Structure 1
Amino acid sequence: MRISVHVQNLKCSGCENTIVNRLTELKNIFDVEVNQEEQSVAFDYHTNHDFETAKHVLSRIGYPIVGKENKLKTKAQSYNSCAISKIKK
């Protein structure tokens, strides 16, 4: 199945790299695409459990799905994830 979700805190290519790298590490998540302009993430998955896992990872790295709580800690995590991705380039 394929899904596209809108996420919060997506600002730059560093954020994009972080999201793609972290989601592609997950079992049964593949063909990850990030659209910065639309602030969306699209990917294929096999089961609802896979989708829930991907949502959890997105939130944990600082990019929760729109409509989910976006606390200061989550925003700070997105900046951290973004910075680390830029340094690894």
Structure 2
Amino acid sequence: MKAIALIENLDSNRCKHIIVRNLSKIMDIRIMEINLDKKTLSFKYDSIGAIEKVKRELWRIGYPLNQFIKKDPHNELVI
């Protein structure tokens, strides 16, 4: 499944590097794109537990989520 997260404080390539480095440790997800202009992180995940890990890790490293959108298997948006 795919998710899109709107992230606070995402404003430079340094931020992008920190997020990629830390989220790469979570084996249940795969980062698809980080868009600095829109301040979004797109990723694929295997379980709800993986989403919780992403939320916790982003908060821990200083990039809390503003909004979170996930797509269900039928590609419908769920907020």
If the length of structure 1 is used for normalisation, what is the TM-score? 0.70
- Gaps spanning 5+ residues in structure 2: where? 68-79
Residue in 2 that maps onto 1:6: 6
Deviations 1:31-55 (A, max 9, x none): 3421000001111110001001101
2:15 matches 1:15: yes
Of structures 1 and 2, the one with the larger relative CO (CA 8 A, separation 6+) is: 2
Residue in 2 that maps onto 1:59: 59
Give distance in 2, aligned partners of 1:23 and 1:61.
Answer: 10
1:27, CA displacement in angstroms? 1.6
Give matches, 1:1-89, under 5 Å. 1-66=1-66
- Gaps spanning 5+ residues in structure 1: where? 68-89
CA RMSD of aligned residues (A): 1.1
Deviations 1:2-54 (A, max 9, x none): 10110101110000011111111112111342100000111111000100110
Higher helix share: 1
